[in-house]
């Protein structure tokens, strides 16, 4: 049974399906606010214990904002079929300390092309609200 | 066209970034809503220096005009060996009812709309800064990446 947003006519993706889609992909985009401006970066990410975690290179805005509000997005749209879906995860950024249980595991990942560099920071999105929408119909 | 190598990634020239924007029609708008960031995928057309999108009344129309926004386009090969991203920063404007010739011309651009509903409002983002990066790895160690 599909749930359709009455205002927009867009199909809402249920939370469980959102989490499944999040776990199935590797690239997303993260946005934070720098002053009054939003900044957005593509990142390679993983789901660790139901949290979205990713690397940020030293010296980027992501490592400078501290425990900031952040929005994470993944999508898959097909231009020919004019259809697709997108997932949003909204929360706050938290940096993993080297002593954190997950730090060693995440640091040992294969090199992340979007966050190259010798001293990557591992960030986690916490307190997350996840929503998803699908347009163009068709089950995936 | 040469690009510099910075931290293992290739920084794209402005001309390369503009060419990528001209050849793509799907991206992500990042805006600030009550102090918090939000990312919304949209169809667009790039007619330098404007990114043009269409929208129905809602979050984009309520919060983007006369604010600083960011706009991002990216792609990655399915084997994770190649990818690029372009990011644009600039102010957004509601040009739906603007009477100047430039805005009228923007409203004639073939901006697609995949989402349902009437998209009677036109927004433009003036590209004040444009930057981009590309990576190419020969060993596929970027992991399994999906096309953006």
What confidence tens digit (pLDDT) does each residue in A89-127 have?
Answer: 999 999 988 888 778 777 766 556 666 666 678 899 998
What's the rounded mean pLDDT across residues B123-147? 73
pLDDT at B110: 94
CB contact under 8 A, A38 and B30: yes
Is residue A83 within 8 angstroms of chain B, CB to CB? yes
Classified as helix, coil or strand, B103 is: helix
Q: What stretch of H or E contains A105?
A: helix A103-107
What's the rounded mean pLDDT across residues B90-103? 96
**Per-residue DSSP letters for A5-51?**
-TTT-PEEEPHHHHHHHHHH--EEEEEEEETTEEEEEEEEEEEETTE
- pLDDT (tens digit per residue) in B113-132: 888 778 889 999 999 999 99
pLDDT at B75: 93
Is residue A110 within 8 angstroms of chain B, CB to CB? yes
Interface A-B: count of C-beta contacts within 8 A: 138
Mutate which: A31, A44, A127, vs B, most B CBs within 10 A:
A31
Residue B33, judged by CB atoms within 10 A of its CB (0-12, 13-18, 19+), counts as middle
Tell me if A117 sits within 8 A of A70, measured CB to CB.
no
- pLDDT (tens digit per residue) in A23-71: 998 889 999 999 989 999 898 888 887 889 988 877 777 777 778 999 9
pLDDT band at residue B80 using 50, 70 and 90 as cut-offs: low
For chain B, the average pLDDT equals: 87
A39 forms beta bridges with A32
Q: Mark out the alpha helices in B5-87 (DSSP H runs).
A: 14-22, 59-63
For chain A, the average pLDDT equals: 84
Q: Is the pTM of this model over 0.80?
A: yes
Q: Is the pLDDT of residue B138 over 90?
A: no
For the beta carbon of residue A134, count every other beta carbon within 10 angstroms.
Answer: 22
Q: How far is CA A23 from CA A49, B57, B119, B143, in A?
A: 11, 32, 32, 14
- pLDDT (tens digit per residue) in B9-42: 789 999 999 999 999 999 999 999 999 999 999 9
Q: Is the pLDDT of residue B134 over 50?
A: yes
pLDDT at A138: 44
CB contact under 8 A, A29 and B74: yes
């Amino acid at each position: 049974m599909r749930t359709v947003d009455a205002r927009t006519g867009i199909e809402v993706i249920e939370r469980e399906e959102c989490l499944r889609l999040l776990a199935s992909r590797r690239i997303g985009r993260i946005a934070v606010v720098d002053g009054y401006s939003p900044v957005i970066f593509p990142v390679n990410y993983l789901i660790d214990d139901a949290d979205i975690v990713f690397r940020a290179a030293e010296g980027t805005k992501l490592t400078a904002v501290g425990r900031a509000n952040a929005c994470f997005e993944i999508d898959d749209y097909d231009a020919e079929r004019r259809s697709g879906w997108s997932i949003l995860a909204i929360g706050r950024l938290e940096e993993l300390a080297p002593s954190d249980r997950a730090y060693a595991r995440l640091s040992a990942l294969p090199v992340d092309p979007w966050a190259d560099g010798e001293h990557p920071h591992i960030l986690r999105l916490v307190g997350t609200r996840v929503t998803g929408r699908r347009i163009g119909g068709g089950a995936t | 066209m040469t690009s510099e190598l910075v931290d293992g990634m290739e920084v794209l020239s402005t001309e390369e970034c503009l060419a990528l924007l001209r050849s793509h029609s799907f991206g992500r708008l990042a805006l600030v809503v009550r102090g918090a960031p939000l990312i919304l995928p949209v169809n667009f057309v790039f007619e330098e220096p404007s990114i043009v999108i269409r929208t129905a009344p809602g979050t984009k129309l309520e919060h983007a005009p006369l604010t600083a926004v960011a706009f991002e386009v990216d792609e990655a090969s399915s084997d994770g060996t190649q990818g690029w991203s372009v990011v644009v920063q600039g102010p957004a404007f509601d040009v739906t009812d603007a009477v100047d010739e430039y805005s009228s011309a923007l409203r004639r651009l073939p901006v697609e709309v995949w989402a349902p509903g009437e998209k009677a409002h036109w927004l433009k983002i003036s590209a004040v800064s444009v930057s981009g990066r590309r990576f190419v790895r020969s060993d596929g160690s970027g992991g399994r990446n999906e096309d953006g």
